[in-house]
Chains A and B, each alone.
Chain A
Amino acid sequence: MKVLVTVKEVAEVEDDFEIADLDVDPRYLEYDLNEWDEYAVESAVQLAEAADEEVEVVSVTIGPERSEETIRMALAKGVDRAVRVWDDDIEAAEFLDVASKVRLLEAVVAEEDPDIVLSGVQAHDTGFGATGVALADAIGFEWGAVVNALDIEGVLNDGVARVHRELEGGIEELTEIDLPAVLTIQTGINEPRYASLRGIRQAQSKEIAPKTLSDLGLDFSAVESELFLTDMYEPETESDATYFEGDAGEQAAALASALREKGVGAE
């Protein structure tokens, strides 16, 4: 059995930052593994650990060489090997929209032939929340979005993903999805582990295979986007936050009187 996990290195913006052209000035960015993907990786590794037969966990990233440090951390947590898609054409692409990413991931799926694909619900930086589901559509897999519980035994023994899906308003849905399938994983589905020192050591010699567009049988047209960024700006803040000083009791009292002033709560 093979599990493919899509992972992304996302940019985190510092508290104070500036915008340069159409993006946050890179000086104010730090990079880390997308939070949702941490949970997807953990689910994949748990699947492999619970299985009697060999389960291979492969991660795929679209990202520059810089992202290898982040990918290594996933390898340290138990991912067996990694694929990293990047080349000059991708670098030069103005904007990698969901459709472009799906074209690249689709080609990787064709090469890897996984039984199940796990992705995060969304990426912390661009926040489209669409890649996993769009990929499922492109490769003709079933899908389950916003999965916050997964029955591992079902996946391993019955070829069925029994999942809880988080709906709006605190409702949960129980769904059975036949494999092969794409599941987009919600935070909180598990408790992502810390990489152990031995895991980190082993990860240094695990494979991160670089792939170019041509390696995947694609050309630059794969990253031509129909979506263009037109502007990026900071919205004006319309209200100010008040911080109540003091211990919990004092803070609660201050909050209560502020609410009462605004007309909230019983007289």
Chain B
Amino acid sequence: MAIADAGSSLTDEQRAIRDVVREFAVEEIRPTAREADETETFPEDVWDGLSDLDLTGLTVPEEYGGFDADRTTYALVNEEVAYGQLAVATALSVHCLATSCIAEFGSEDQKETWLPEMTRGRPVGMFALSEPDAGSNPAQMSTVARRDGDEYVINGKKQWITNGQRGEVCILFAKTDPDDPSSVTQFLVPKDAGFEVGKKEHKLGLRASDTTGLLFDDVRIPAENRLTEEGKGLSAAFHILTGGRVGIAAQAVGLAQSAFDEAREYAHEREQFDGPISDIQSVRHKFSDMATQIHAARLMVREAARQDDAGEDPRTAAAMAKYFASEAAVDVTNEAVQIHGGYGYTTDFEVERMYRDSKITTIYEGTSEIQKDIIARGVLD
């Protein structure tokens, strides 16, 4: 069965996009993965390639040179890029979060200023919501943007910011009144406004992606850089993150599929007890479970994307997809290592990196626990 086609009501255009991005992932992205992971450096040439394919303008409206992808196409691209390397997919999806914010909330001037260039890949975008003391509950944030004449003065610290080093444009969430939790507002802060980039985190996985803190010490931006009305920042963030979640779920599917394919090839080649281990029933059943999980996860992603494209409220379906697909990615990569035996525990085999990479998908853009919270709200209240 062509699993990747599962449940597909894909259009010819979507199918062609999926095929091209898959080919790019296999030929251009995957070969950089090991070194990028080992040296903790982002493969910038790959980024330029993504831009040649128009992927860096995936969520930018066409009038600013972007592709303005529907959610289903967005998910397909995320799945296939992650099939090549999760760190690249994460960097791309965060860049897309930033362009989505500018496209959706920015003024005409801001869109003209930023979107055509970001569509071409640089400047790279960041999305700065989390703080050292405010993760699952961003309302608890302490970064403040104080109005001063026709400027805002920003003070505070952001944490875990993807593209922190590479990025040049930051979508920042801050309170305009430190004592009012409902005053969270969204701003656009170019790096040259003068915030400081903290040290790069050394991580279990996703090591090619630069994750840093950002330190704001009396950073001044013009008042026009405010993207939402004061107090409207958090609902804007949640709205953008719902779409983003479908992307993260799709990335988990792509990562799981890549580990599955590695394990499949290995199981056919590796011989024990006078035959390939793919003949051993308990190994075969691992593949049954893995394939079923991937299949289910992919269908959940497609359904959440479909709801979004159809203008339905996709929040519950997106949370279910993110929760299920990310946990599936952890399970599937774990089994892929197991199927490789001792070899899978070494950096000589791709599944070792995939296993380490998978864990982040249950944590960022809302932990599994938070997804369950959202799902419970959707099905109970």
Contact = CB atoms under 8 A, between A and B. Distances in A.
Interface in A186-219: 193-198, 200-201, 203-204
B24 interface: yes
A124 interface: no
B54 interface: yes
B20 interface: yes
A197 B12 contact: no
A195 B16 CA distance: 9
B17 A197 contact: yes
A140 to B, nearest CB: 38
Given A72-B12, A76-B16, A197 B23 contact: no
A197 B54 contact: yes
B340 to A, nearest CB: 15
A32 to B, nearest CB: 10
B54 A194 contact: no
B267 to A, nearest CB: 15
B45 interface: no
Interface in B13-45: 13, 15-17, 19-20, 23-24
A193 B54 contact: no
Contacts of B67: 197-198, 201
Given A196-B52, A196-B53, A197-B17, A204 B12 contact: yes
A90 interface: no
Given A200-B17, A200-B20, A201-B67, A194 B12 contact: no
Contacts of B241: none
A49 to B, nearest CB: 14
Contact of A194 (B13, B15, B53, B58): B53
Contacts of A72: 12, 16
Contacts of B24: 194
Interface string A106-121: 0000000000000000
A94 B134 CA distance: 71
Q: Which residue, B15, B16, B19, B55, has most C-beta atoms of chain A within 10 A?
A: B16
B13 A200 contact: yes
B39 to A, nearest CB: 19
B54 A73 contact: no
What does DSSP make chain A's interface, helix, strand, loop or mixed? helix
Interface residues of B, number: 17
Interface in A169-198: 193-198
Interface residues of A, number: 14
B10 interface: no
Nearest to A77: B20
B20 A195 contact: yes
Nearest to B49: A194
B52 A200 contact: no
A106 B67 CA distance: 40
Given A200-B20, A201-B67, A193 B52 contact: yes
B23 A201 contact: no
B375 interface: no
Interface in B45-60: 49, 52-55, 58
Contact of A197 (B15, B49, B55): B55
A69 interface: yes
A245 B49 CA distance: 34
B297 to A, nearest CB: 24
B16 A194 contact: no
Q: Which residue, A195, A196, A197, A204, has most C-beta atoms of chain B within 10 A?
A: A197
Contacts of A197: 17, 20, 53-55, 58, 67, 69
Nearest to A196: B54
Contacts of A193: 52
Contacts of B20: 73, 76, 194-195, 197, 200
A204 B17 CA distance: 12
A196 B55 CA distance: 8
Interface string B49-83: 10011110010000000010100000000000000
A85 B274 CA distance: 51
A73 B52 contact: no
15 contacts: A69-B15, A73-B19, A194-B49, A195-B16, A195-B20, A197-B17, A197-B20, A197-B53, A197-B54, A197-B55, A197-B58, A200-B13, A203-B16, A204-B12, A204-B13
Interface of A: 69, 72-73, 76, 193-198, 200-201, 203-204
Given A195-B53, A197-B20, 7 more contacts: A73-B19, A194-B24, A195-B16, A195-B20, A196-B54, A201-B13, A204-B12
